[in-house]
Structure 1
């Protein structure tokens, strides 16, 4: 003989206490599930900042940079184009650091650890061998354009004035330990600033540019002197350079402080 079973009540006859227990149980599971992403969010938002970015997010960006740097080489050149492929009207990217007029007494201020700073003019830069590049300038906003720039190689500039080394000597390819790890640049009004790894700064296509389409660059494009660094997105191509310095610590970087990758290499 089968044991008696509990009678199955119709839904509308289920005791209110049982319904309440089910609701409480379901709500408990929902609360637990919701607490996981909320907990992660709280962990991130209350983490200590690193260069303006919450540390867990900064670690992800640093990992991306490390991957990019493992395959970077100064023998890797970005593709170039004939001059007639360049846009006649180069697109402008951003006005941060350019909101005040070009200072009448503009000069290029170079910090040198252990020595007096250098004060140079654009003519000092023009005295170096001129190089031109026609390449695809890429903006982190998603657009790109083939542009024609002219100027002096930053590597030639560093060698000429014996910059970027801890010894105060010209950079020696066989003694990379003597090089500082970063170059910092900022506009005269300090409204825009970037930090660049030394490998990218010394890349043979990196220029201190003073010409666009064969003419002196204009104020919206960074006159009288700007950085053109084809191995980076446009946010690193500082306009109207006012100061350059060298350091082993990451310099401040305008867009890295606002959530972008520090390295931003192509």
Structure 2
């Protein structure tokens, strides 16, 4: 026997009991629909923090990073431009880590698992092969600008000083197990700091830059030495590097501690 259905009557002819039942059902469904997002919101906001973000949100960000890493390749290069297209007055953004005077005796400190830290001068950095790049610098705030930078490849720097490996040998991309997972960097005053995944650090376009538009970098842009990492948004491009170290644990990261994505790849 087929199920009997209520007849399609005009609203004025619907029995009071039927109308009341329909109203109760409608309000119940509405309340349930409203309660679900409220419950999810309360669950997220009451969750503990993980690396600066609520745990469920951090898990989503980490899942996105894991996906991005699957298609990352050192053979994938960002687009480059003719030098004449570079901004004559590159935009400066952010002063964290730059609020105190640069120490007069600045040297780049490299922490090593074994032995004393290396202290490297700018002359020693400039003795390595120089590379230049003109590319579109992208800020996570939504603006971008074609900029011209010069310096030494981070991968060449690491190879020259035999950094980033557990064996103490020069890095070899084919011996991934010997590489640490991350590079950590911070300003001399420790006011700004980043963690970079090793694959991005070893990318051939990643530079320890000391020139902008063919001239020494100015203080607001990170003199005397800064990171230029075209495969990341600007928040990872640390200015005024004071210390560098290597780790299998995530180094502290200024904006990740404030709820941003840790990877922030392009």
The equivalent residue for 2:4 is none
Residues 151, 209 of structure 2: 8 Å contact kept = yes
Q: Which of 1 and 2 has greater Rg?
A: 1
What is the Cα deviation at residue 23 of structure 1?
Answer: 8.5
The equivalent residue for 2:5 is none
Consecutive unaligned residues in structure 2, runs of 5 or more = 1-11
What is the Cα deviation at residue 49 of structure 1?
Answer: 1.3
What SS does the corresponding residue of 1:208 show, helix, strand or coil? strand
The equivalent residue for 1:39 is 39
Q: Which runs of 4+ in 1 moved over 6 A?
A: 19-27
The equivalent residue for 2:157 is 157
Distance of 2:46 and 2:129 partners within structure 1? 51
Residues 93, 234 of structure 1: 8 Å contact kept = no
What is the Cα deviation at residue 115 of structure 1?
Answer: 1.8
What is the Cα deviation at residue 254 of structure 1?
Answer: 1.0
Residues 80, 133 of structure 2: 8 Å contact kept = yes
Distance of 2:215 and 2:199 partners within structure 1? 29
What is the Cα deviation at residue 179 of structure 1?
Answer: 0.1
Residues 150, 207 of structure 2: 8 Å contact kept = yes
The equivalent residue for 1:79 is 79
For 1:184-235, what per-residue CA distance to the aligned partner results, in whole angstroms no more than 9, with x for missing partners? 1111111111111101000111000000001000110000000000111111
CA RMSD of aligned residues (A): 2.1
What is the Cα deviation at residue 66 of structure 1?
Answer: 1.3
The equivalent residue for 1:7 is none
The equivalent residue for 1:198 is 198
Distance of 2:26 and 2:83 partners within structure 1? 68
What is the Cα deviation at residue 29 of structure 1?
Answer: 5.2
Distance of 2:86 and 2:137 partners within structure 1? 10
Residues 51, 259 of structure 2: 8 Å contact kept = no
The equivalent residue for 1:5 is none
Residues 183, 246 of structure 1: 8 Å contact kept = yes
Consecutive unaligned residues in structure 1, runs of 5 or more = 1-10
Instruction: Give yes or no for the alignment of 1:259 onto 2:259.
Output: yes
Q: Number of aligned pairs?
A: 254
**CA 1:39–1:107 in 2, change beyond 3 Å: closer, same or farther?**
same
Distance of 1:178 and 1:34 partners within structure 2? 52
What is the Cα deviation at residue 58 of structure 1?
Answer: 0.6
What is the Cα deviation at residue 35 of structure 1?
Answer: 2.3
What SS does the corresponding residue of 1:134 show, helix, strand or coil? strand
Instruction: Give yes or no for the alignment of 1:50 onto 2:50.
Output: yes
What is the Cα deviation at residue 60 of structure 1?
Answer: 1.0
Distance of 1:31 and 1:75 partners within structure 2? 53
What is the Cα deviation at residue 146 of structure 1?
Answer: 0.8
Instruction: Give yes or no for the alignment of 1:238 onto 2:238.
Output: yes
What is the Cα deviation at residue 30 of structure 1?
Answer: 4.8
> Under a length normalisation based on structure 1, what TM-score does the superposition of the two structures give?
0.89
What SS does the corresponding residue of 1:75 show, helix, strand or coil? coil
What SS does the corresponding residue of 1:251 show, helix, strand or coil? coil
Residues 165, 179 of structure 1: 8 Å contact kept = yes
Instruction: Out of 33-42 and 123-132, give the one that drifted further.
Output: 33-42
The equivalent residue for 1:132 is 132
**CA 1:24–1:180 in 2, change beyond 3 Å: closer, same or farther?**
same
